[in-house]
Amino acid sequence: MDTVIEQLKEVLEEDQVLVNEPMCRHTTFRIGGPADIFIIPKTTEDIAHVCSIAKKEKLPLFVLGNGSNLLVADQGMDGIVLQIYKNFSGIEVSGNELTIQAGTLLSTAAKAAQTEELTGFEFAGGIPGTFGGAVVMNAGAYGGEMVQVLKEVDVLTPEGEVKTIPAQDLELGYRTSNILKNGYVVLSGTIALEKGDPEQIKALMDKYSAARRTKQPLELPSAGSTFKRPEGYFAGKLIQDAGLRGYQVGGARVSDKHCGFVVNQDHATAADVMQLIGDVQRIVKEKFDVVLEPEVKRVGRF
């Protein structure tokens, strides 16, 4: 591992290469042990160098945004974590299109669209993730999804080529795409919106923001919605009807405000969260014969 660190420091600045970096500092759950190597790129060239070294050394490579929708193991993560976040963000506007770098927060992008009086991206204003992560997972809320607005993305391929891919070729579905399967790293993307009434855009964003504050446990660390929506049901309602509101394992708890969220109530561990998720799945299956599938992605040394 020392030789890998040396290679990385030859092409990156000292403060871009962190060793044994606690992942609890980089996830919205505030949970997770150390990553062997944690990289903070600033340019496409940085990203390409890191991917090339990881491939050559046969090291696991995990691309991280702002760490939402993620549960990292207490024992940490092997290999390299590549954080494409604030150092790799920016927005360019051209007519009714926004080209957005992968590390840009969705809230920032939605605000930029509002400033340009463009409608169609209001749904993304409160999603706690980056643009790149939203593309990978086809993120959505309040009836809107990335697939509805995404025009194309620029990706780095496993061969080190920067390639532009039309949205229709990404196999965007419910919280899925083919990006990870193909080994792509999202660098940026373009969304196409429509001119709208600025007052209506603001009113809709305010409405969604108020709904999140009222209904979601934003005051506690979480990874967002814990379970995918089962067909014909709502996960939170099933969990509530199963009598699991406030159910707690260690420091992890089913939110009292919204049962679809597991929150870090008091120094929760990943093991606490995993046991709680398993308990909820088992009890909901017993009571309603519905299988809840986790939406939160589990990574690391479980």
Q: For the ranges 53-62, 207-216, 240-249, which has the lowest average pLDDT? A: 207-216
Catalytic residue among 89, 225, 253, 255: 225
Choose the catalytic residue: 175, 177, 188, 222. Answer: 175
In angstroms, the CA 121 to CA 108 distance is: 11
Of the candidates 122, 145, 152, 295, the residue annotated as catalytic is 295
Q: 218-299: which CATH number, 3.40.640.10, 3.30.479.30, 3.90.78.10, 3.60.15.10?
A: 3.90.78.10
Q: 217, 28 in Cβ contact below 8 A? A: no
Residue 253 among the catalytic residues: no
Enter the tokens of residue 81: 């974590």
d(CA 283, CA 126): 31
Does the annotation count 212 as an active-site position? Answer: no
- Per-residue model confidence (pLDDT) at position 288: 97
| Element containing residue 184 per DSSP (H, E) | none
Q: Which residues, including other chains, have CB under 8 Å from residue 226's CB and lie 6 or more apart?
A: 235, 260, 261, 262, 277, 294, 295, 296
CATH of domain 2-86: 3.30.43.10
Per the CB < 8 A criterion, the answer to whether 133 and 62 are in contact is: no
Considering all CA atoms of the chain, what is the largest pairwise distance in Å, rounded to the nearest integer?
Answer: 57
**Does residue 128 register a pLDDT over 90?**
no
Question: Is 284 exposed, middle or buried, given 0-12, 13-18 or 19+ CB atoms closer than 10 A?
Answer: buried
Q: What is the CA radius of gyration of the chain?
A: 20
- CATH number, domain 89-200: 3.30.465.10
pLDDT at residue 175, as a whole number: 84
Q: Which of 32-41, 103-112, 171-180, 195-204 has the lowest mean pLDDT?
A: 171-180
Please provide the average confidence, as pLDDT, over all residues in the chain: 95
pLDDT of the residue at 148: 97
By CB atoms closer than 10 A (0-12, 13-18, 19+), residue 285 is middle
Listed in sequence order, the DSSP H helices in the chain are 2-11, 44-56, 106-115, 131-137, 198-215, 235-241, 270-288
Q: Which two tokens stand for residue 176?
A: 């899925």
Give the end-to-end CA distance of the chain in Å, rounded to a whole number.
21
Strand partners, 94: 97
In this prediction, residue 201 carries a pLDDT of 96
Query: Would you put residue 124 in left (φ > 0), alpha (ψ -120 to 50) or beta?
Result: alpha
The pair of structure tokens assigned to 111 is: 């605000």
Q: For the chain, what are the domain ranges?
A: 2-86, 89-200, 218-299
Q: What is the pLDDT of residues 88-124, one digit of tens each?
A: 999 999 999 999 999 999 999 999 999 999 999 999 9
β partners of residue 227: 294
Tell me the per-residue pLDDT of 222-274, one tens digit each, with 9 for 90 and over: 999 999 999 999 999 999 999 999 999 999 999 999 999 999 999 999 999 99
Contact 17, 5 (CB under 8 A): yes
Active site residue 286: no
